[in-house]
Structure 1
Amino acid sequence: MKNKLNIYCKYFLVSGMTATIVSCSNTKFLKDGQLLYTGAEVKIESDSLTKKEKSALESALEENLTPKPNSSFLGLRPKLYAYNATKEPKKEKGLRYWLKYKFGEEPVLLGDVDREFNKDIIVNYSENKGYFNAKAKYDTVSKNKKAQVIYTLNPGGRYLISNVKFPADSSLINREIQILKEKTLLKAGNPFDLDVIKAERQRIDDGLKDKGFYYFNPDNIIVQADSTVSKNHKVEMIVKLKDNTPKLATEQFTIDKVVVFPNYNLRDAKKGLYNIPMSEDSLKGYEYNDIYVVDPKKKFKPRMFDRALYFDKGDIYNRKDHNLSLNRLISLGVFKFVKNEFVVSDSLNHKFDAYYVLTPRELQSLRLEALGRTNSANYAGSELNLNWTQRNFFRGAEQFKASVYGAFDVQIGGPAEAENIFRAGANAQLSIPRIVAPFRFNSSSAFVPRTNIKLGYEFQNRTTLYTLNTFNATFGYQWKENVRKEHELNVIDISYIDPANETPKFLALKANNPYLQRITDQQLIFGPTYSYTYSTTMLPQRNTFYYKGMLDLAGNITGLITGANEKEGKQKNIFGVPFSQYAKIENDVRFYHKFTEKTSLATRLIAGVALPYGNSKYIPFSKQFFVGGSNSIRAFRARTLGPGSFDPRGANNTRAVFDQAGDIKLEMNAEYRANLYKFLNVAAFVDAGNIWLINDEFNEAGENIRPGGKFSKDFLSEVAVGAGVGLRLDFSILILRLDLAMPLRVPYYEKGDRWVLDRVKFGEGSWRRDNLILNIAIGYPF
């Protein structure tokens, strides 16, 4: 212990000396009289503000000061040092140029700081937050060729709102404003805040847009603050229309005609086609439910526009319906560009026409993809895909996709005896932009609901072991409540797995191993599946959240009707094949926290359980859980970890097929991500988790073929832990990820010997070969 303490002390001493040397070395490049600017600090002198209020105001003020000092990491400024230490490049390319001008940062000097300007910013910001008597000053502190500016603010008392007035008159627009005032953001007793005032003006504008005032603007609202009517730092707020508000902005408009051009192009734009008055002679279209469609070749069925557009003739203009219609047209997936324009047709009666000009995408596409891949299970392979897409299959924006593919994976080394894999198959999917059902489904979402029909077949051959034929079919619905919430319900989800060509080698392997036997059992799996997704990751905020829950119920109604009970010897068949009966639930929770624009923390928790009952003793192999690999616990090879404390290293020959499956899954991941330079990102991560069995698996001799695999109260001691670092090359259209991981805790070691931190030996080649796992993948793991 003493030796380790001495090592740590030496490490911190060396680190401290290195930091001091590098930090000081930046100042040696300065000319006489130059001072390196290290940043600003704001101090607030006030007895009326709490410590929390002071801290919040100081942080906000410091955020607004310019310029920012050179970036630092752990007290060092490596980018500044790169700029200073690199000689002037002769050409605007090459390593020297990149190091100095792309990676490096030019020094920010005290002379670059306009202290008077920053002082004015501090005062103005404070006044905007209600500190009307704010006063500021600054002082410069310099030492060792470095300088810091300290700004001191005396904010005075903060003004609070005494009351809020919305003067009334007889105009139509004022009557609507009087209705909107009930939900005003300006509340008596709250501090004066310019940002709140701006938000209130926008709120009124949004409300008026929903009432037909299309030409209104937030700038037409004035909010006056009167501090003379009250004492003790109080201010009265008066919200009203500006005197010079244009007459057009105060008029409420209704929809006269709705015209759709579904085959719009740039040549039409030159003609100004969507600006001309509607007439049958000039537009050569036809009317459908008060919508006039200009589609001479009739490429699209008009009812698709009737379902997508929320405006009808005579409706009062509504901003929500306006945006809703545009979003639904876009979500049909058949139009590349969607443009909307309103043209006044009757100014006396305040009516305008709504024109929708739509530019179709290429309705058909044929794409050939060739992919190369490798994984941590020592497989490398290639895949060839041929995809055909028709985006308007029945002229109603129905998307039909068909694909055929072939792939192979070859073992390229490693300690495991695995078999090469060949796969080939075909898939077809029809996606209909509405709910096809015997019941009525009304959706006011901006996203068009869809009915999805899928058919697929895959042929899989594990060279010298076996062949599987897999058929699947689904019929279901997909719909979104809003941008955050999505549902997917597959009413019919059928999979039929038919084995063939089991080799003598595999027959010998599985002869006394029910786990291997289930891999090539004939399987019939059918039942509904449902998933719910909630996500805020697309929103521009510091903390975002993602959740996906999945429920899979197989054979439950059929099992109930037939009285199936495998435990009592009453296993039922359909067409001679036992059907699977189980309930499976899986939850995927992710939380993302952004520290700065370039650093963030990503975390994930996965918890799932699959329970067999009725007609099944075990969960079908294809529906079980797996862990390990590039998107899971990266310190262990793909699908080789678990279940529980079971040691998969060759025991009972299960390593021959490599995959270890379980009925219960628990996985946790945390990853710190940082951007170094444009497309170059790094990460440090920790993964933990495992899988377990619901029931032990015994062979005919009564032997437990995967001892330690069953879930028990000691499950926490069987959680595997791994950690590592990663490099990510983000090219926008492609993210190439390289993660190097090593195990920290191995669940199949003896119970008191599972932590392996004391056995880390980076200097030994054999240790690196057995413990360092390189994962190469596309995209982020979560």
Structure 2
Amino acid sequence: MKKIYTKITAFIVIAILICACNAVKRVPEGKLLLTKNEITVNGKVIKDENVFNQLYQKPNSTLLGYRLRLNLYNLANLNPDSTYQAKFTNNPEKYKRKSKWLSEKQVNRLGKSFWYHGIHDFLRRTGEPPIIIDKERADKSVLRLKYYYFNNGFFNVQAAYAIDTLKLKKAKIKYAITSGNAFFIDSLRATIATPVLDSLYQINKFNTFVKSGKQYKTEDFDNEKNRITTNFRNNGVYNFQPNYVTFDIDTIKKVNQANITLMIANYSYQDGDSTKTAPFKIYKISDVNIYTDYSPSLNTLNIKDSTTYKNFNLYSQEKLKYKPKAITNAIFITKGGLYADNKTVLTTRYLNNLKIFNYPSIQYEVDKRDTTAQSLIAKVYLTPRKKYSFGTTLDVTHSNIQDFGVGLSVSETIRNVFNGAETLEIAARGNIGASKDLANPKNNFFNVSEYGLDLKLNIPRIFMPFNTDKIIAKSMIPSTLITVGFAKQRNIGLDKENFTGALSYNWTPKINHTARFDLFNTQFVRNLNPTNYFNVYGSSYNALNEISKAYNTNTAYYNNAIDKDLLIEQGTRGFTNDVLSGNATFLKPLEAADVESVKSIEERRLRLTENDFILATSFTFSKTTKKDLTDNTFYLFKTKIESAGTILSAFAKTTNQKKNVNGNYEIFNLEYSEYVKTEFDYIKHWDLSKEKILAFRSFFGIAIPFGNSNYIPFSRSYFSGGSNDNRAWQPYGLGPGSSGALDDFNEANMKIAISGEFRFKLLGNLKGAIFADAGNIWNVLDNVVDEKSTFTSFSDLKDMALGTGFGIRYDLSFFVIRFDLGFKTYNPANETNKRWFREYNFSNSVLNFGINYPF
């Protein structure tokens, strides 16, 4: 209690200090603190962020209207060294006393300590110095405002500013803009000196950015220059540049209108001391030369081996180590074809994607053998990476099951393993972790462990016995991934061995589009410790144990005559068999409801402890508009459809295989899973400027068992709750439906999730967020009959849970550390009239730790 009072007192003191800070404390005499910018256009106050971004000076940042960073800066001592030394300069005896008590060295080092120096450095770095009004910058802001409006078609714009003093050392700047009328494009014509360029322009002029009737915008003219340049350079005009495109803007005798003339002169070049002009030429590729082992450190090439394959010339300074087709498949520049920038870019992307070369270099030179000087020789320089490379990684992880984990992996990569640009990776990995949600009778901190071995073979083409170029063109950069893996883990208490294998095809249909087709993805899960089930799933044990106390008469089943708790495994299995068989003596007749409960508990135990074999085929497609890492206005759509067991069932029926006693087919004496599963995931981000971002995510997934199965394997089912889901509930702690999460690990075969989050900047790299998460899981079309857990109609959407809360995040550039506090706002597990805000308090809240943003 004393510690709590101390913390509260410290918090109050800091808050008082910050609030009591004088905002103009560090504003020099005769200067003014900028508190606000105000912009009026034609007499009306505007809030357009694009206009305000033209200003050179902006007021200090605020948090909920309070200038927190400015006041933190004002708390800092800007000269802590001088202040510390002044203590002893004015009082030499004090220095002597301290030196005797500590030592001169320690006294001097004390001045560099956190309390004397470090805290002020922190406040200075975290804080923000006062923004002092600078008239020179205000003048520049006026010029930028005029340029901004001029570039948007307001040719007669006028702008001025005035400084309005508010109180002592504080003022705001009022910018007044008179825009005048905007100018619109009346007509557009083109004057192109080179006839061949004029023909290319006419073919594609309907795509122009400069159109009659549009308001004049400089941005449109810049875009048109780039469009024309791209069009020409992708059609053989090798030496064309944007500066050859000019525009003549005629506003004479026009009222708020302009006639535009697009002009492209002939090619200009230096010939000795004089400048000459000539019509532009269309260039063709006369040769494609590929240097497979180029070294940038060598000035010359000493070619010892060469070959020609389908009009490509391959050269090597040693014996050629690659199958020609493996390299030429990545080259889109063809002999006899026109020069094109897009082919150069595509070739560079494909070669870089092979991951056996450093970033390639592609150069062109005029072929001197062509007397018309309209031919180019393409030279592709490839610098091989090392054939063998060894790597290690150490990861700190966090997941919905594992609260904390440390993982180590070692890998060996072998490039060009079969001389076809293939890459083979052999990796061994190990992980230890801690989880408070798992069985941990010995109370060990690290109660989760896993180790495994993985082999991955990447083939830079579609690996099939027939040609697939007409279906998946090589411009889509296709590849084949073959994987085999083994893992042994101790996590949920049953301890598992996992054998996996997959054959996957990947390609990019368009830029920012990806597609993946898993011809097969197989998984065999073997439970090593199924007898530990009731130690792990405590809720199932408690339910069975309570029923046993009402009926059990067999003393061999319980621990002692007083508690009469069932022994694991002898008691739980014996009592279950007695109830289901009905061949035992009980304290009283068995009630039907209790028999059904025991039957349900046993069915769940069998489901979660049996071994699984899954042979699935799936297709995954994703599309995003995200341009780069700094793009905060984008959407991402991802969908997946998966079918498991269908091929095995078709084979079993065709070959007249016999079914087992349960009426199901088996493979390797094991019932395999059969289901169809589909998912839709949509993420949208809006950049609201000033480092404010609104993020939204929606997810829907459903897996339907059929044929050989009447339920979905645990590894393919859905759960709700956790740091990347509904953050007001623990992982596996929500649903299904309104059942109230009765099991230890609650899962189902249908899921709906919707999340919204508003992110904003707090201090420096410290960010904040307010979020709302809605969703739940349900059972549908499987063997679960509990009404509260199943989804039967759209009326069951009333069981969608809602969690709200706030979070803080610290951006370390390469990843983000995240803490989110979620509150149960609407809990469908409660009675209908007690669902809203009944658990909206700190005692029922959930604190989530995560790495990076949840979506």
Task: Give the TM-score taking structure 1 as reference length.
Answer: 0.84
Tell me what 1:9 maps to: none
Q: What is the CA-CA distance between 1:504 and the residue it aligns to?
A: 7.0
Contact 1:411 1:418 in 2 (8 A): no
Deviations 1:120-150 (A, max 9, x none): 3333332222222222333332211322222
Rounded to whole Å, the distance in 1 between the matches of 2:197 and 2:304 is 36
Contact (CA 8 Å) 2:151, 2:217: kept in 1 or not? Answer: yes
Q: Does 1:480 align with 2:560?
A: no
| Equivalent of 2:365 in 343, 348, 368 | 343
| Structure-to-structure mapping, 1:537-686, within 5 angstroms | 537-539=626-628, 541-559=631-649, 570-596=663-689, 598-648=691-741, 651=742, 654-655=743-744, 659-677=745-763, 679-686=765-772
Residue 773 (structure 2) aligns with: 687
Maintained 8 Å contact 1:469/1:498: yes
How does 1:15-30 map onto structure 2 within 5 Å? 22=19, 25-30=22-27
Q: Considering only CA atoms, is the larger Rg found in Structure 1 or Structure 2?
A: 2
Task: Sort the Cα spacing of 1:731 and 1:119 in 2 relative to 1 into closer, same or farther, 3 A.
Answer: closer
Alignment of 1:412-427 (within 5 A): 412=436, 420-427=447-454
Residue by residue over 1:627-669, the C-alpha shift from the partner in whole angstroms, topping out at 9 and shown as x without a partner, is 2222222332222322122234xx5xx43xxx22101111122
| Contact 2:18-2:75 within 8 A present in 1 as well | no
Instruction: Using the TM superposition, give the Cα deviation of residue 415 of structure 1 relative to its aligned residue in structure 2, in angstroms.
Output: 10
Counterpart residue identity of residue 778, structure 1: I
Distance 1:413 1:394, change over 3 A: closer
Distance 1:23 1:505 in 2: 60
Find the counterpart in structure 1 of residue 72 from structure 2: 82
Distance verdict in 2 for CA 1:690–1:555, change over 3 Å: same
Which of 319, 331, 336 is the aligned partner of 2:353?
Answer: 331
Please tell me the residue identity of whatever aligns with 2:693: S
Q: Which residue of 1 aligns with 2:314?
A: 293
**Does residue 321 of the first structure (1) align with residue 343 of the second (2)?**
yes
2:198 counterpart residue number: 174
Q: Where do 1:250-399 residues align within 5 Å? A: 250-268=280-298, 271=299, 273=301, 284-295=305-316, 296-346=318-368, 348-373=372-397, 380-399=404-423
1:64 is displaced (CA, Å) by 1.0
Residue in 2 that maps onto 1:435: 462
Matched, 1:117 2:140: yes
Structure 1 residues 395, 738: CA separation in 2 closer, same or farther (over 3 Å shift)? Answer: farther
**Equivalent position amino acid for 1:480 in 2:** T
- Distance in 2 (CA, whole Å) between partners of 1:321 and 1:505 is 60
Alignment length, in residue pairs?
727
Distance 2:484 2:136 in 1: 66
Give SS of 1:110's match: coil
- How do residues 137-148 of structure 1 correspond to structure 2 at under 5 angstroms? 137-144=160-167, 145-148=169-172
User: What is the aligned partner in structure 2 of residue 5 from structure 1?
Assistant: none
Which residue, out of 209, 224, 227, partners 2:251? 227
Q: How does 1:501-516 map to 2 (within 5 A)?
A: 501-503=529-531, 506=534, 511=576, 512=599, 513-516=602-605
- Partners of 1:42 and 1:222 lie apart in 2 by 34
2:731 aligns to what SS in structure 1? coil
Whole-Å Cα distance in 2 between the matches of residues 494 and 599 of structure 1?
44
Q: 1:396 to 1:39 in 2, by over 3 A?
A: farther
Relative to structure 1, the CA distance from residue 646 to residue 364 in structure 2 (aligned partners, 3 Å threshold; closer, same or farther) is: farther
User: Helix, strand or coil: the match of 2:134?
Assistant: helix
* CA deviation after TM superposition for structure 1 residue 250, in Å: 2.1
Task: Encode CA deviations 1:484-530: one digit per residue, 9 max, x unaligned.
Answer: 21111111122233444532765666754212211222333223111
> Is 1:155 matched up with 2:179?
yes
Partners in 1 of 2:439 and 2:729 — Cα distance? 13
Assess if the C-alpha contact under 8 Å between 1:424 and 1:460 holds in 2: yes
Cα 1:19–1:589 shift into 2, 3 Å:
farther
Kindly state the Cα deviation for residue 549 of structure 1 after the two structures are TM-superposed. 0.8
Q: How far apart, in 1, do the equivalents of 2:283 and 2:80 lie?
A: 65
Gaps of 5+ in 2: 1-11, 82-111, 270-276, 535-568, 577-598
Cα 1:249/1:85, change in 2 over 3 Å: farther
1:711 and 2:791 correspond: yes
Distance 1:610 1:638, change over 3 A: same
Higher mean C-alpha deviation, range 35-44 or range 587-596 = 35-44
Residue 117 of structure 1: SS of its match in structure 2?
A: helix
Of stretches 62-71 and 375-384 in structure 1, the one that deviates more from structure 2 is 375-384
The answer to which of 593-602 and 546-555 deviates more is 593-602
In structure 2, the partner of 1:448 is: 477
2:143 is equivalent to residue 63 of structure 1: no
1:521 — aligned with what?
610
| 3-state DSSP of counterpart to 2:23 | helix
Q: Which residue of 1 aligns with 2:230?
A: 206
Match of 1:195 among 215, 219, 237: 219
Gaps (5+ residues) in structure 1?
1-14, 274-280, 699-703
Is the 8 Å Cα contact of residues 675 and 681 (structure 1) preserved in structure 2?
yes
Aligned to 1:780: 853
Amino acid in structure 2 at the alignment position of 1:571:
N
How many angstroms does 1:23 deviate by?
A: 9.7
Q: Which amino acid aligns with 2:774?
A: A
Instruction: Give 1:422 shift.
Output: 4.2
**Structure 2: distance between partners of 1:137 and 1:777:** 50
Percent identity between matched residues is 25
Q: Partner amino acid for 2:207?
A: K
Aligned-pair CA distance for 1:421:
4.7
The amino acid that maps onto 2:759 is: R
Query: In the aligned structure 1, how far is the partner of 2:142 from the partner of 2:69?
Result: 29
Aligned equivalents of 2:16, 2:243: Cα separation in 1: 53
8 Å CA contact retained: 2:710, 2:782 = no
CA distance in 1, matches of 2:765, 2:825: 30
- Normalised TM-score (structure 2): 0.78
Give the distance between the partners of 2:633 and 2:848, measured in 1 at CA.
28
Contact 1:689 1:721 (C-alpha < 8 Å) held by counterparts:
yes
CA displacement, residues 143-179 of structure 1 (integer Å, 9 cap, x when unaligned) = 1132222222222222221111112556333333333
